Amino acid sequence: MYGIIDGKAISQAIKDEVKAEAEKLSETGRKPCLAVILVGSDPASAVYVGNKKKACEYCGFDSVSIEMPEETTEEEVLKKIAELNSDENVDGILVQLPLPKHINEDNVILAIDPSKDVDGFHPVNVGNLLIGRDGFVSCTPAGIIELLKRSDVDIQGKECVVVGRSNIVGKPMAVLMLRENATVTVCHSRTKDLKEVTKRADILIVAIGKPRLITKEYVKDGAVVIDVGIHRTENKKLCGDVDFDDVCERTSLITPVPGGVGPMTIAMLMKNTLISFKNRTGR
Ligand code: NAD
């Protein structure tokens, strides 16, 4: 019999902890503040930005929403980031990705002050993560560590396989699992025999962006399976990179989609913004 890792409940607990701490710390003086830049009118991005704004409200943070039209130039975005970098009342700056094609994402990420980079995408924060120094960690992988710890999964010494090597999920995920003393293998689109590798995993973390690719043949009996993927199916339902119905009986614990990893990303964004606020105000 498998157990479900309830990302909805765990993310709610984290947001409540953040809210309580933020309330206490802002009794005198300003509140934590997150600035979000949205360029263009991608409907999915607009929903994500709206959800971030709602989470700020819930946690008692201030939020600044900067909406720029599709034809905004890279220079204009960089100028806005420079303004936010020097605004003492802003703790976190997030640029919603993807950006329109004419804007170079690397240049935009590099322009964000690393001490306000609550998404953890700036190379300074990525480097700090790699060498074990304090810094902001990408929210989705940081959220997965919280899911595992709060579900009492013992990570130390375990075989962990991460499928996917993106800068946002796969790579930081592998480093975080290494930091927790797992034995880590990273697989990707050129891995020769994916099943052979994933079947070794005590903890299998899947972030490949391919609906229901992982079936029970890829999973060892009793494994913990974390599914990062999010896809909308033909009948408008959500599914992950893991075929949940096929795999669940083989696992000891598994994250559902929706309600698994998804809600954790915003909760960790709130946590990172609170950390930045504490760093900046010395509270
Ligand atoms: P990406 O496209 O940047 O990277 C996908 C990775 O998977 C690549 O490294 C590629 O090598 C690997 N890959 C692709 N096909 C493969 C295959 N057949 N076998 C083995 N490896 C393969 O994707 P990403 O940004 O890391 O996102 C992955 C998934 O997670 C997407 O579905 C995305 O929507 C979702 N996602 C969810 C959240 C969340 O908050 N829950 C956050 C980020 C991404």
| Any ligand 1 atom below 6 A from CB of 257 | no
> In angstroms, what is the span from residue 251 Cα to ligand 1's centroid?
21
**Which of 167, 47, 170, 173 lies closest to 105 in space, CA to CA?**
167
Separation between Cα atoms, residue 274 and residue 38, nearest integer Å: 21
Interhelix angle 43-59/7-25, nearest 10 degrees: 50
Average pLDDT over residues 53-74: 98
Which of ligand 1's atoms lies nearest the C-alpha of 207?
A: 28
| Any ligand 1 atom below 6 A from CB of 188 | yes
Percentage of residues of the chain with pLDDT beyond 70: 100
How wide is the angle at C-alpha 211 spanned by C-alphas 206 and 216, nearest 5°? Answer: 60
Q: What is the rounded average pLDDT for all residues in the chain?
A: 97
Which of ligand 1's atoms lies nearest the C-alpha of 240?
A: 32
> In angstroms, what is the span from residue 97 Cα to ligand 1's centroid?
15
pLDDT of residue 3: 98
pLDDT band at residue 166 under the 50/70/90 scheme = very high
> In angstroms, what is the span from residue 166 Cα to ligand 1's centroid?
7
**Locus of tokens 């891995």:** 191
Percentage of residues of the chain with pLDDT beyond 90: 97
Average pLDDT over residues 16-24: 98
Domains detected in the chain: 29-114 (3.40.50.10860), 139-262 (3.40.50.720)
Q: Which of 14, 139, 169 to mutate to test the pocket of ligand 1 (most atoms within 8 A of CB)?
A: 169
> In angstroms, what is the span from residue 60 Cα to ligand 1's centroid?
32
**For residue 283, is pLDDT > 90?**
no
| Any ligand 1 atom below 6 A from CB of 169 | yes
pLDDT of residue 28: 84
Closest residue by CA, ligand 1 atom 4: 166
> In angstroms, what is the span from residue 168 Cα to ligand 1's centroid?
9
Which residues share a beta bridge with 16? none
- pLDDT, tens digit, 9 for 90 and up, residues 67-91: 999 999 999 999 999 999 999 999 9
Which of ligand 1's atoms lies nearest the C-alpha of 170?
A: 26
Instruction: Name the residues annotated as catalytic.
Output: 52, 96, 119
Reported pTM? 0.97
Pairing of strands 231-232, 238-239: antiparallel
pLDDT of residue 112: 98
pLDDT band at residue 274 under the 50/70/90 scheme = very high
Separation between Cα atoms, residue 113 and residue 223, nearest integer Å: 40
* Residue 1 neighbours by CB under 8 Å, 6+ apart: none
Average pLDDT over residues 122-138: 98
Burial label, 71 (beta-carbon count in 10 A; 0-12, 13-18, 19+): exposed
* Residue 75 neighbours by CB under 8 Å, 6+ apart: none
Closest residue by CA, ligand 1 atom 2: 209
Average pLDDT over residues 1-18: 97
Average pLDDT over residues 229-235: 93
Average pLDDT over residues 163-179: 98
Closest residue by CA, ligand 1 atom 40: 262
**Which of 55, 64, 63, 65 lies closest to 18 in space, CA to CA?**
55
